[in-house]
């Protein structure tokens, strides 16, 4: 492997021109999307737009491409970076020169990514994140893989020399590699209700739009088959609806299987001494590292079927300093043992509590009351579209809602230990939220007038990346949890980053 000398200003790989060009073209098309639509419409309708002939338009577009290409070349030529003893230097800008210097000690994270275009020409992009504001983020969009890895190592090596958390990067091993079978299984057993709901509402909307047209169609069909079916029309309709729902479910399932498969293809977790590295993606290859000290929240997800197949997923929410920005990093298709191992690694000596506390039964009543609204909305929409017969829908709807409420209440639990807060929630999914108490940013006690009468309150716990709610506990307990959390945060003086 040829050694790259980072101490002299160097450019990115010459393939970078293509990447910059592609980025700029995409950006250009995004910005002038509306204009292009107008152009296309104009062309279709009158064979001209603003008295321009198609030939002229093609010439203009070509001209734009050439200009973008020239800009890309200039940008490439003026994009230089190098490393000094303590800093990373980057100079950019064609007309306005811009020199950035980043002290290595301020570098928080170095990501290596590869999108589809970059995969085609075999380069990677390297992103440097600092503790400053968003503007100080740097992305080098085209590097050879070996150069990128070397640069990453250089950047990190120096950090480790002057900070105390020595990371022995040699001591790594691939801890987990998701097999294709398990990825597909994860996709199939995914909670499809959300994507189904989206697709269903979309289809319903379409149906409403073209209602008259479809009714005409059905009317024709009815006349054809009237003699045969006669009284069976109702059943026939039922068949059609069941078929539609089944198809909808199938489509949403396929959709999430493909989505999950593409996003997590070749998922692997590499275990370093202190950090974890995640590599995944088919078209967009991502390589991320997790540092335990930066983790704000951890969410473990599964559902009944997944539990049967020993499938768990782990979402890690990492915060960046001084930014209202957090990264959501997920690992899927883990088994129970691996989940426990990772939890132990990311949260030192976290124990899964056997004893859990439940919200008050009042929570169930609130859930029932809350579910009345969707029932009402679904009923009125169905009534508007399908008439009175649609009210039969409640025969299915009400039991589902009751089941949901039961599950939500059953899965709701919480536990506050010396160092961690664990909150369970979810209806179809079983979701476990874990956060370390010294990562807390603020605590809120929330109580409605009705709750006050019943002496019940909720505790909302904010970290830098999300909020977790302990719902509907006794006011006395809520207050002592509140006091306890604040006491821990304020007395320890531990840092949240």
Partner 1 sequence: MNFANSQIHDFSLPQLDEVSLKPISKDYYKIIAVNKIVLYAILFALLFVAKSFVDGDTFQNNFWYALTILLLICLFDFVISYLAIKKRKYAIREHDVIYAKGLLVNSITTVPISRIQHIEESRSWLARKFHLSTLNIFTAGEAGSDLSIKGLPREEAKQINDFLSSKVNGKSGLLTTD
Binding residues vs partner 1 (CB under 8 A): 105, 319, 321-324, 353, 355, 357, 415-418, 440-449, 452, 460, 462-467, 479-484, 486-487, 489-490, 493, 496
Instruction: Report, in Å, the least distance between residue 105 CB and partner 1.
Output: 6
- Cβ at position 293, least distance to partner 1 in Å: 14
The number of residues making up the chain comes to: 497
CB of 459 to partner 1, least distance (A): 10
Q: Which is nearer to partner 1, 183 or 343 (CB)?
A: 343
In the complex, least distance from residue 152 CB atom to partner 1, rounded to whole angstroms? 22
DSSP 131: S
Question: Which of 191-200 are b and which e, b meaning 16 or more Cβ less than 10 Å from the residue's Cβ?
Answer: bbeebbeebb
Closer to partner 1 at the Cβ: 408 or 439?
439
- Nearer Cβ to partner 1, position 125 or 415? 415
CB of 357 to partner 1, least distance (A): 6
Largest Cα–Cα separation, the chain: 89
First to last CA, the chain: 37
Nearer to partner 1, 309 or 462 (CB): 462
Tokens of 100: 């950035």
211-229 and 233-264 helices cross at what angle (nearest 10)? Answer: 130
| Nearest CB to partner 1, comparing residues 98 and 495 | 495
Q: How far is the CB of 451 from partner 1 (least distance, A)?
A: 8
User: Three-state SS for 3?
Assistant: coil
Q: Which residue lies nearer to partner 1 by CB, 161 or 385?
A: 161
- The CB-of-356 to partner 1 minimum distance in angstroms stands at 9
Token pair of 318 as six digits: 């990492």
Over the range 369-404, which residues count as b (16 or more CB within 10 Å of their CB) and which as e?
Answer: eebeeeeeeeeeebeeebeeebeebeeebeeebeeb
Instruction: Give the burial string for 428-457 (b: 16+ CB within 10 Å, else e).
Output: bbbbbbbbbbebbeebeeebeeebeeeebb
Nearer to partner 1, 228 or 495 (CB): 495
């Amino acid at each position: 492997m040829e050694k790259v000398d980072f101490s002299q200003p160097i450019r990115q790989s010459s393939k970078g021109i293509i990447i910059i060009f592609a980025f700029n073209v995409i950006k250009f098309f995004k910005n002038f999307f509306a204009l292009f639509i107008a152009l296309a419409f104009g062309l279709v309708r009158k064979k001209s737009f603003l008295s321009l002939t198609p030939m002229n338009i093609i010439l203009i577009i070509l001209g734009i491409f050439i200009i973008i290409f020239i800009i890309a070349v200039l940008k490439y030529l003026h994009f230089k970076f190098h490393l000094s003893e303590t800093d990373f230097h980057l100079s950019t800008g064609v007309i306005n020169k811009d020199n950035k210097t980043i002290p290595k000690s301020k570098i928080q994270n170095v990501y290596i990514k590869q999108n589809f275009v970059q995969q085609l020409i075999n380069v990677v992009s390297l992103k440097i994140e600092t503790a400053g504001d968003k503007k100080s983020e740097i992305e080098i969009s085209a590097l050879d893989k070996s150069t990128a890895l070397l640069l990453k190592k250089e950047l990190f090596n120096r950090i480790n020399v002057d900070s105390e958390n020595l990371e022995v990067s040699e001591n790594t091993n691939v801890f987990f590699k998701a097999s294709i079978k398990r990825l597909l299984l994860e996709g199939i057993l995914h909670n499809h209700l959300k994507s189904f709901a989206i697709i269903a509402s979309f289809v319903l909307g379409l149906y409403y739009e073209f209602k008259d047209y479809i009714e005409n169609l059905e009317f024709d069909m009815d006349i054809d088959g009237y003699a045969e079916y006669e009284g069976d029309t109702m059943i026939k309709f039922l068949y059609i609806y069941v078929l539609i729902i089944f198809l909808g479910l199938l489509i949403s399932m396929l959709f999430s299987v493909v989505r999950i498969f593409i996003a997590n293809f070749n998922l692997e977790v590499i275990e370093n001494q202190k950090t974890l590295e995640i590599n995944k993606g088919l078209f967009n290859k991502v390589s991320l590292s997790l540092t335990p000290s930066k983790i704000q929240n951890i969410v473990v997800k599964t559902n009944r079927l997944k539990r049967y197949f020993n499938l768990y997923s782990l979402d890690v929410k990492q915060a960046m300093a001084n930014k209202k920005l957090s990264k959501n990093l997920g690992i899927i298709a883990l088994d129970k043992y691996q989940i426990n191992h990772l939890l132990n690694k990311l949260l030192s000596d976290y124990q899964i509590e056997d004893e859990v506390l439940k919200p008050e039964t009042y929570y169930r009543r609130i859930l029932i009351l809350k579910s009345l609204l969707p029932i009402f909305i679904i009923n009125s929409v169905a009534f508007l579209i399908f008439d009175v017969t649609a009210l039969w829908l409640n025969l299915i709807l009400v039991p589902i809602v009751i089941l949901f409420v039961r599950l939500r209440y059953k899965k709701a639990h919480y536990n506050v230990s010396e160092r961690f807060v664990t909150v369970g929630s979810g209806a179809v999914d079983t979701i476990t939220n874990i956060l370390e108490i010294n990562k807390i940013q603020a605590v809120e006690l929330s109580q409605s007038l009705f709750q006050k009468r019943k002496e019940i309150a909720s505790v909302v716990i904010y970290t830098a990346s999300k909020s977790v709610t302990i719902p509907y506990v006794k006011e006395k307990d809520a207050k002592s949890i509140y006091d306890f959390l604040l006491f821990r945060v304020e007395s320890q003086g531990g840092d949240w980053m």
